[in-house]
Amino acid sequence: MPPNATGLPYDRVWNFSAGPSALPVSVLEEVQRDLLNYKGTGMSVMEMSHRSKAYDSIINGAEATLRRLLKVPDNYAIIFMQGGGTGEFAASYLNLFASKSVRDKQRKLGRPLTCDYLVTGTWSKGGLKEVKRLGGITNVVADGVKSTESGAASYHSLAPVSEWNLGKPEETAFVYYCENETVHGIETPSSLVVDAVDPSVPVVCDMSSNMLSRPIDIKRFGAIIAGAQKNMGPAGVTLVIVRKDLLEREEPDTEAVRGVPSVLDWQYYASAGSMPHTPPTFAIYVCGLVFKWAEEMGLEALAQLREARAGLVYDMMDKHPDFYRGVVDKQYRSRMNLVFNLPTKELESKFVAEAAERNMIQLKGHRSLGGIRISLYNAMPLEGAQAFVAFMKEFYAANCQ
């Protein structure tokens, strides 16, 4: 196909959506080639029985590739589920409180364990709210940064670890945090959290929006949850990587297990190879192709790319801070979702409209905050960030006063 005016094949745009987001073109091309007849089976993956040998090869291959790519230890299960990150807000709480290790710990304490939440933005706040709704006893480790005047929390930085209110290890079931907050544009270094938490307490991390963008030390976590639709594939499938001892149960008919719906039950899915019933077959298939693409790229190269892309945009923001107004503490700026404001809402609307004329779309900030947000996920090549920065430079020259 001939390129469009911006040099992109297939008349594609620069898609800066926060999710669902752009996929690698090479992956889409492979999907296209095999869409009507997958590898000589005479049918599409969308039409294929999940109990067939062909699909068994697809889902097992996807899991094996991801295990190699992330160096997932053998004592961790990889599970493909549904329900998105929001479903896992509930699932992480329900599954851990059904696990033998947490129940033994709770029995020893003689009262319910608490759930520690590091609140850094919209999604970690959502996780906290869901567990409260389910009756969990929560402890807020930190809630953004408090205003010295009003006492209200804002999510532009992290409180120092010395100010965190971590629960006592013997009283805590798990510590939860969201590593990259897509709305507020803040990214929490994993080492900051796992180094602060007692090793006896499982760390549960939502990595929906920065998964596969850099190497991860899996063994530092009790569980990792991630919706696929930002860095791994299309919407519809959710990844769970969980330490197997946390899946161990006492008896299948205990009260705790009865409180875990089958559709959220990690053990139920893990014991059936992620297929106790029909999984999101096509979404898992595409994820498997993205895993192969990422393996060929290498996590180190993807980490370098994410730094390079974000660095271009942040350099332009820092060059004109009174025009491109970033609010996030520089040491915690997200490499995935970059947010800023312009001097007026009118200028922000103009920025979005003129960017669209240049085939750059999905730049409006989240509806709760406004402003501008550019999402630079794994499939975005460096050229996309370069094109965006060239437009920023042009827009500044035409509108600064």
Q: Please give the full DSSP string across 10-52, using - where no structure is assigned.
A: GG--EE--SSS----HHHHHHHHHHSSSGGGSSS-GGGS-TTS
What's at 377, amino acid-wise? Y
Cβ-Cβ contacts under 8 Å for 44 (sequence gap 6 or more): 34, 35, 36, 37, 38
Question: Distance between CA 396 and CA 380 in Å, rounded?
Answer: 23
For residues 162 and 46, what is the distance between their CA atoms, to the nearest angstrom? Answer: 51
Look at strands 238-243 and 186-187 and give their pairing: unpaired
Residue in 14, 116, 143, 206 annotated catalytic: 206
Active-site pick, 164, 230, 265, 292? 230
What span, in angstroms and rounded, lies between the C-alpha atoms of 151 and 140? 15
Q: How far apart are CA 392 and CA 66, in angstroms?
A: 37
- The answer to whether 271 touches 249, Cβ cutoff 8 Å, is no
Closest by CA to 294, choosing from 219, 202, 228, is 228
> In the chain, how many H helices and how many E strands?
12, 15
Residue 189's CB is within 10 A of a number of other CB atoms, namely 12
Q: Residue 206 catalytic?
A: yes
DSSP bridge pairs for 180? 187
Question: Which of 123, 164, 266, 293 does the annotation list as catalytic?
Answer: 123
Contact of 376 with 352, CB cutoff 8 Å: no
Catalytic residues, by residue number, are 123, 206, 230
